[in-house]
Amino acid sequence: MKASFKKHILQFKRPGGTSRGVLSEKETWFITLRDGQSVGIGECAMFRGLSVDDVPDYEEKLEWVCSEIDLGLEVLRQELLEYPSLQFGLEQAFRSLQAKNPFCLFPSDFTEGKAPITINGLIWMGDRKFMEEQLRDRLADGFTCLKLKIGAIDFETEIDILKSIRELYSAEEIEIRVDANGAFGKNDAFQKLEKLAALDIHSIEQPVKPGQTELMRDLCAEGILDIALDEELIGIFNETKKKELLHIIKPDYIILKPSLVGGFHGSREWITFAEEIGVKWWVTSALESNIGLNAIAQWTFSLHSPLPQGLGTGSLFTNNIDSPLEVSKGHLWYQKENSWSTNLI
């Protein structure tokens, strides 16, 4: 078996704002396996400034992986515990290699184009005009679940935008999720949650920065608004520590980004431990190209979650990989009649 990789810089159609800054591009790496006539491909989507494996020797580690590919997935996974995006890329590549179709990792009604995945419509941070423009577009596109990035502009302006949605649509008509990316502080988190709760917000992702376990525990215990852990899960590899975190904080939800938490295997662990104590979950992409998004979507469909998932990021880039993935009326579809880019493998 031979393995190789290449880097790809995804360019945003329009810069995306988060409380951590504005994103105009996103680098990623494709790993390709060849064994005789069989070919497999996966995406190692390390996220600068967020991934625990954002380290200077990342490409050197990827070169090592390719040179030692005959060790096999299970051995390599153990060697790469602190490189979750590499774990995920390898999981995809090995599964792709073994599949009849290298892009069909989890055959299902989804890959047959018979059933879609319900997703949320993402609204990026920006000035009021930009956020309201996105809002109109998402509603026109048929989304019934919206996710708004908050925390970068004036909070009262964000509240006004949310109020404008609620004046037109009830919580039964439009579900609103917000993602603070850790923007709130100890002194204002409780008050801000109360203002959000008054608007029938479904949940908030990561209201405060990760690592403040007692504060996050207290916010969850107060029960003002359902809280989902996101960045809080990054960098925790030990099973015991995963269980401890969930037992201490007792969140309402956890959000799984396979590129950041160790692929399918790492995500499955989190799901198992969460379900043991009644914590719900959904899956979100982390600005992967359509290669990684495809793998995440197919895997997510196989889990049969009833909740809207965060998988609508494929249309953000000008130079994404042509694929059968298509967003329509608040759902992600796999349109079999559309083809993949053939120059990838």
Distance CA(107)–CA(110), nearest Å, equals 8
Distance CA(149)–CA(317), nearest Å, equals 18
List, in sequence order, every residue forming a beta bridge with 23; answer none if it has no partner. 16
Catalytic residue list contains 280: no
Out of 257, 280, 329, 336, which one is annotated catalytic?
257
Cα dihedral across residues 264, 265, 266, 269: positive or negative: positive
- Cβ atoms of 165 and 146 closer than 8 Å: yes
- Cβ atoms of 266 and 84 closer than 8 Å: yes
Burial class (CB in 10 A: 0-12, 13-18, 19+), 219: buried
Catalytic residue list contains 149: yes
Out of 26, 149, 192, 242, which one is annotated catalytic?
149
CA-wise closest residue to 252 among 224, 280, 290: 280
Strand pairing category for 21-35 and 2-18: antiparallel
Q: How far is CA 256 from the centre of its chain?
A: 6
- Catalytic residue numbers read 149, 257
